[in-house]
Structure 1
Amino acid sequence: MSLHQMFIEPLTYAWMIKGLLIACLVSLALGLLGCFLVLRRLSLMGDALAHTVLPGIVIAFLISNSRASLPLLIGASVVGFITTLLINGIHLKSRVKEDAAMGIVYSTLFAIGVVLLTAFASHVDLDPDCVLYGDLLGVPETSIWVMLTVAGMIIVGIILFYKQLLITAFDAQLSNALGISSAWTHYIFMGFLSLVLVTSFEAVGSVLVVAMLIAPGATALFWSDRLPRMLVIAGALSIVSAVSGLYISVWLNCSPAGAIVCTAFIFFVVSLLVSPRYGLIARALRAARLRRKILLENILKEAVKVADYSESPIPLATLQATLKMPAGALLRGSKRLQQRKEATLTSSTLTLTPAGIAEGERILRNHRLWELFLSREFELPEDHLHRDADDIEHIMTPELAAALAVHLDDPRLDPHGKPIPPSRSN
């Protein structure tokens, strides 16, 4: 199959153009709102509302006997509002946690919707498959204009209420203290969310709605700590996922909604692995670097004590015994110190260079300053000081060490009566 057949030829069909437009608009609106759900740890709320619009749609159809958008929108919005009230009411008035309240409410209301849908399937023109997967490639042109309007409203709403949404997303108590009602902001946001869910439900189904509410925002969180950038990344990921997934569904002749969700999941997994700050690979590398740093600093600190701050050769067996360290780890650390010109290594001894002595004294100074600080400020017993100091010594900055020395009146001895090495910067 040529590139023209893969990418250009599908665009000659009207259903493909309409599918791309509706998929991008729905995914964009859901992705932007999903950022706030992810930040507020309310991802399950989106899932709850996505499922509970079903009974609202079915009841509205049964009452109006019409598939016009307005009755369905009203019915689903009413049920969505009731869902929010029920979840908050159960959570606030009982010992049930919020996530459990969400699970109880949305599963019950969704079950009611399924019962109504199946019980009246012979009389009602609603397809159960449409509930899950939608009809992305068969949407009428009016749905595109409706979704375009809704997506525009969402973007404008986020711009207008950005300050309120930002503050309530991170600190509802601060929001209330500043005169911004977190409750009203919550209900306004849920109103926007219900509007998007209702208008997109028939076109894309609940599978895509739930996934695109969570995946783009969760993925964007790996790449930015700032909300404006997070919104841009989530919006871009939503559109790219929609376009890529729709093309994949055409090539493989599979469900468009499922393909879009799988594409969004791939972006999430890739970000989970390779994000430079929060990815698993980056975290593993940082952890490995920290372990190596601790290993080298422990060797230097112990070598300085054993050699009594001199360049005397130290038997490796002595270091191994005092450090209680495997011989292989000690040898690897010693070789690394030799590469850094902080020590010279022979088959049986390790000798610190002046640079190694200075670094070892710095670590030992950090350790004993922190022990003294804990002893004076918290009156901890001597046998409780060493472990905490072992952890802090490796992350204490020179600025913190200097401030600590000033706070402790430039001490000479630690709580055990051992000398604290002087600062080399003095």
Structure 2
Amino acid sequence: MLNRVSPLVLSVLLVVAAAGRSPHADELEQLIKSGQISAKISENILEDANLDVPELVTKYRYPMEIHHVTTSDGYILGMHRIPHGRDQNNDPNVDRPIVFVMHGLLSSSADFVLMGPGCGLAYILAEAGYDVWLGNARGNYYSRAHVRLRPDAIFNTEFWEFSWDEIGNLDLPAMIDYTLEQTGKQRLHYIGHSQGTTAFFVMGSLRPDYNQKITSMHALAPVAYLANSESLLLRTIAAFSNPLDALARLIGFGEFLPNNQIMSWAGQAICMDEVVFQPLCSNILFLIGGWNEEQHNATMFPVKLGHTPAGASVRQLAHYGQSIDNKGFHRFDHGLLKNRRVYGTYRAPRYDLSRLTAPVFLHYSPADPLTDVRDVDTLFSELGRPVGKFRVPLETFSHLDFMWAIDAKTLVYDRVINLLKSMDTHGLNGLEGLKESD
């Protein structure tokens, strides 16, 4: 193990013109040749399904940089940067405030660009005048590397023995420090979705010194307390969370839903427009992330499944399952003896959210099956510096809509950007008339 965070180790900066072929490009070519893909499907949809993040961003003529940072325990994390806009705020010599954006469970930085310019959050932020940095948690497609451990090792799950506790305690600090060092800034804005919010709450609790590095934090579909979550997936896992983690280690299976050929094939062959199975694909997505057919762009299914799921550890799911089971917000429960060894107590400690003193804004929806309004209220009441709590003005808006909804810009992103700009200009003083939208 490394003894400290070393963000300069294996750091790489590449201004990308083209990043090489997607790992699924060969499979796509075979599907086209076999005739399984309808000629009526847009070539752009198929192309975007097989381009990685650097290729996607470059394709749409935005500036793109690739960075890598190594955590104190040896995970090599990929980061993507869009330093300025394409159509507006496109002078590369202008000094810009930073927005760091963090993805959710089973996701990656791709979620904020795959919907394309004008829709993807990363592009919208860049056009609004921000220097946009996209993080990737350990174990996903862009952070599937370690200085010593191998993610594909047979009968050895050591690489995958982490939850979102390590993502918040180790990954976020490493990426934030690296971003600030590269830009010469002292503070940045943070936007997280789902697990990207959980990891931030972990960081604020375990690493309170990082509060000083955050201008504002915007939690899209905030996840901390899950006592009232209606997620069928997480509630099922909750009943077996500890045995699930132990079994995964026993049989040498530590990764959950990696980005693989099966999912890409599903997106390209059975979830496209005019394919009879597309409604089934939509229903499966709604079952996991909430039902909102009105805001669901089914045409983009091949692109979504080309990038998602991006991989995660079984333990990340198990940790959420524990949160439902114990109805609290605790560190990962290893069992009595290991808890004593790791934490110094027999029970997994609670995260102390009062230590999180950075300004926090919560953006939520009552139709979100993962984030119940009662749990959002509990979270808001325990934060050290809660500033605003905003309900999305559409009753059917759901969990995945914060990334992919047709009207996400007008329903969520415009408000977030207004809050960012107000904080940049006036700080908290500019929010004196702020009204929560409950």
TM-score (norm 2): 0.21
Q: Which has the larger radius of gyration?
A: 1
Q: Which has the higher helix share?
A: 1
TM-score (norm 1): 0.21
Q: Which has the higher strand share?
A: 2
